[in-house]
């Protein structure tokens, strides 16, 4: 049976480090603070906000909530971002996306000061990920995938990693981060021919597609490490990843569960980036 790479174990280890760093910052008179900027009342945003707030309390990161109505004018949202950029007591900003349709997300997200961009949403942060320059922050979800690999001692160097999915939020940055760790990387997507054979070639599989249980037995082989980023709600309301966990468990070497895998680590990565930002802004 495959080893189950539990996110809770990784996030506990991260939380301990974040707590230590937040104590050290407080001793210097710096109270690490995350501003959560939410536009509207989307259920998934609210539930993520609750999760981050609870975790932040645990690790000693303060939260500042900025809530704007779903029909907010773009100038008002930009002014809110500019105020957070100028506020020295705020070290990181998490802005939920997608924004309502009337807002130009590309314009809005790039208003954020890159040093406070703890979720890697600005072009400046993303260019750092692609250029291999570690000045800004990478998006939290692919960072969580790397934290999981590192925590469980999986060295990507020389391994063949196949990333299924090429979104700018997960797939592409995950591929760049694996390349940065000296993996040989293939990026697969909806037009990839014979996807099962491509994935079967992998030592490390990162599935970030958004299709429940798409990566089934025929895609897999013994020895693989599988990181399942997908979060899909099934008809009965339960959650499933992009990988058929039951089938994979009897084939691969190790796999992250859904829920309880990547998602559980992402929140801690958010907060890790906040204390790093607070340190950078005060050194």
Q: Which is nearer to ligand NAP, 157 or 191 (CB)?
A: 191
Taking a C-beta distance cutoff of 8 angstroms, is the pair 12, 19 a contact?
A: no
Taking alpha carbons only, the member of 217, 213, 177 closest to residue 200 is 217
**Interactions with ligand NAP, residue window 147-176 (CB under 6 A):** 164-167, 169-171
Query: Would residue 182 be called left, alpha or beta, if left means φ above 0 and alpha means ψ between -120 and 50 degrees?
Result: left
CA distances from 256 to 9, 57, 67, 137, 217 (A): 11, 26, 34, 24, 16
Interacting stretch for ligand NAP, rule CB under 6 A, among 16-24, 53-61, 68-76, 183-191?
183-191
Residue nearest to ligand NAP (CB): 167
Helix (H) / strand (E) element for 38: namely: strand 33-39
Q: Which is nearer to ligand NAP, 40 or 260 (CB)?
A: 260
Which neighbouring-strand residues pair with 66? Answer: 37
DSSP 138: -
**Interactions with ligand NAP, residue window 232-271 (CB under 6 A):** 232, 262-263, 266
**Interactions with ligand NAP, residue window 108-147 (CB under 6 A):** 141
Q: Which is nearer to ligand NAP, 72 or 243 (CB)?
A: 243
Give the residue, chosen from 32, 114, 136, 230, that forms a contact with ligand NAP under the rule CB under 6 A: 230
CB of 268 to ligand NAP, least distance (A): 11
CB of 283 to ligand NAP, least distance (A): 29
Size of the site for ligand NAP (CB under 6 A): 25
Interacting stretch for ligand NAP, rule CB under 6 A, among 9-17, 37-45, 78-86, 182-190?
182-190
> What is the 3-class SS of 82-97, one letter each residue?
HHHHHCCCCCEEEECC
Strand locations in 146-213 (E): 160-164, 184-188, 204-207
Helix (H) / strand (E) element for 35: namely: strand 33-39
200 touching ligand NAP, by CB under 6 A: no
Q: Which is nearer to ligand NAP, 30 or 48 (CB)?
A: 48
Q: Return d(Cα 166, Cα 190) in angstroms, integer.
A: 9
CB of 9 to ligand NAP, least distance (A): 16
Per CB under 6 A, residues contacting ligand NAP are: 141, 164-167, 169-171, 188-192, 195, 208-211, 229-232, 262-263, 266
């Amino acid at each position: 049976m495959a080893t189950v790479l539990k996110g809770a174990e990784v996030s506990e280890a991260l939380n301990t480090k974040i707590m230590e760093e937040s104590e050290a910052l407080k001793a210097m008179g710096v109270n690490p603070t995350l501003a959560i900027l939410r536009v509207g009342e989307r259920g998934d945003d609210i539930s993520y906000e609750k999760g981050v707030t609870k975790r932040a309390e645990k690790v000693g990161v303060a939260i500042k909530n900025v809530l704007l109505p779903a029909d907010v004018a773009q100038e008002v949202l930009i002014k809110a971002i500019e105020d957070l950029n100028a506020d020295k007591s705020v070290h990181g900003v998490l802005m939920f996306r997608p924004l309502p349709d009337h807002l130009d997300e590309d314009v809005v997200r790039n208003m954020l000061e890159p040093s406070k961009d703890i979720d890697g949403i600005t072009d400046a942060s993303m260019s750092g990920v692609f250029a291999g320059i570690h000045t800004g922050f990478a998006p939290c979800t692919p960072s969580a995938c790397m934290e999981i690999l590192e925590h469980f001692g999986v060295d990507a160097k020389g391994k063949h990693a196949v990333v299924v999915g090429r979104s700018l939020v997960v797939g592409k940055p995950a591929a760049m981060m694996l390349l940065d760790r000296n993996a040989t990387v293939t990026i697969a997507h909806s037009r990839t021919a014979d996807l099962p054979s491509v994935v079967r070639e992998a030592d490390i599989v990162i599935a970030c597609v958004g299709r429940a249980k798409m990566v089934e037995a025929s895609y897999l082989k013994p020895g693989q490490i599988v990181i399942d980023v997908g979060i899909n709600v099934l008809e009965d309301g339960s959650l499933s990843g992009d990988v058929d966990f039951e089938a994979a468990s009897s084939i691969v070497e190790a796999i992250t569960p859904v829920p309880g895998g990547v998602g559980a680590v992402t929140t801690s990565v958010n907060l890790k980036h906040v204390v790093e930002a607070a340190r950078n802004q005060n050194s």
